């Protein structure tokens, strides 16, 4: 029962991760007026799906970082059969859940992180995308799990500041959420782990 519950929770997390992340990578397309937030989200969903599939190619360093820590035993992670069968099947399933969540549940957030957050010129939006991509690409092979949310919205906010229109109140709310969620997630996970451990 626990493995099935874990898989269902993983897919639920992937769905809402897609809803939360799909619009951020393309936020500058909307805030620069190049595309509507909905159309930009469509590109974001496609990029989210493709990016999840690319994890098979480029996510090796992160997989190795977490291997042998109770998630994936070293001997299993090193087997080519694991990457081909379980890895590819899981990636396609999770990628589909992320794309579905992005399209069906991500539209309001896509608007908030784009046109509601700032206005920028196409050049400023392009600069924000270059910065975001460079930071994520530089950290991934090193096995450093940087947050694409923080990187992207920081760059979008920088573009908004350069463009002289940043919704500081909205961005301040984002900052507060980022500061609060890390310790709250750790505390809740510790508590739920203790409760589940006691009940099993």
Predicted pLDDT of residue 119: 81
The reported pLDDT for the residue numbered 53 is 74
Burial of residue 195 (CB within 10 Å: 0-12, 13-18, 19+) is exposed
pLDDT (tens digit per residue) in 2-59: 678 888 888 999 999 888 888 887 888 888 888 888 898 899 889 888 887 777 676 6
d(CA 127, CA 131) in angstroms, rounded, equals 6
30 or 82, which is more confident?
30
CA dihedral defined by 23, 130, 62, 80, rounded to 10 degrees? 90
Helices 148-162 and 168-199 meet at what angle, rounded to 10?
Answer: 170
In the chain, % of residues over pLDDT 70: 84
Which pLDDT score, from 0 to 100, does residue 186 have?
92
Residue among 157, 158, 128, 141 nearest 25 (CA): 128
Residue 58 pLDDT: 67
Q: What is the pLDDT of residue 77?
A: 67
Instruction: Give the residue extent of every domain in the chain.
Output: 2-166
Mean pLDDT value across the chain: 82
3-state secondary structure 40-66: HHHHHHHHHHHHHHHHHHHCHHHHHHH
User: Quick one: DSSP state of residue 87?
Assistant: I
Q: Please give the average per-residue pLDDT across 55-73, as a whole number.
A: 62
- Give the model's confidence band at 134: pLDDT under 50 very low, under 70 low, under 90 confident, else very high: very high
* Cα angle 19-127-15, degrees, rounded to a multiple of 5: 10
- pLDDT tier, 164 (very low <50, low <70, confident <90, very high otherwise): low
* Helix, coil or strand: residue 85: helix
Quote the pTM value: 0.70
- d(Cα 121, Cα 29) in Å, to the nearest integer? 10
CB distance 155 to 132 below 8 Å: yes
Q: Per-residue pLDDT averaged across 106-124, rounded? A: 85
- Measured distance CA(182)–CA(145) in Å, rounded: 14
Handedness of CA 128, 131, 136, 137 (dihedral sign): positive
Given a contact cutoff of 8 angstroms between Cβ atoms, the answer to whether 102 and 27 are in contact is no
């Amino acid at each position: 029962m626990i493995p099935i519950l874990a898989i269902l929770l993983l897919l639920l997390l992937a769905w809402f991760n897609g809803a939360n992340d799909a619009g951020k990578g393309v936020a500058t397309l909307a805030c620069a007026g190049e595309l509507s937030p909905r159309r930009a989200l469509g590109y974001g969903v496609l990029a989210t799906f493709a990016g999840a599939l690319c994890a098979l190619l480029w996510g090796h360093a992160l997989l190795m970082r977490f291997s042998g820590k109770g998630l994936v035993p070293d001997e299993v992670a090193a087997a080519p059969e694991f990457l081909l069968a379980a890895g590819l099947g899981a990636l396609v399933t999770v990628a589909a859940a992320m794309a579905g969540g992005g399209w069906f549940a991500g539209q309001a957030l896509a608007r908030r992180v784009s046109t509601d957050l700032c206005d920028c010129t196409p050049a400023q939006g392009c600069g924000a995308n270059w910065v975001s991509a460079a930071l994520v690409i530089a950290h991934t092979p090193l096995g450093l799990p940087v947050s694409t949310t923080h990187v992207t919205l920081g760059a979008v906010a920088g573009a908004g500041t350069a463009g002289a229109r940043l919704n500081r109140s909205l961005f301040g709310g984002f900052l507060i959420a980022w500061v609060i969620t890390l310790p709250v997630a750790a505390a809740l996970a510790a508590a739920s782990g203790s409760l589940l451990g006691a009940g099993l």
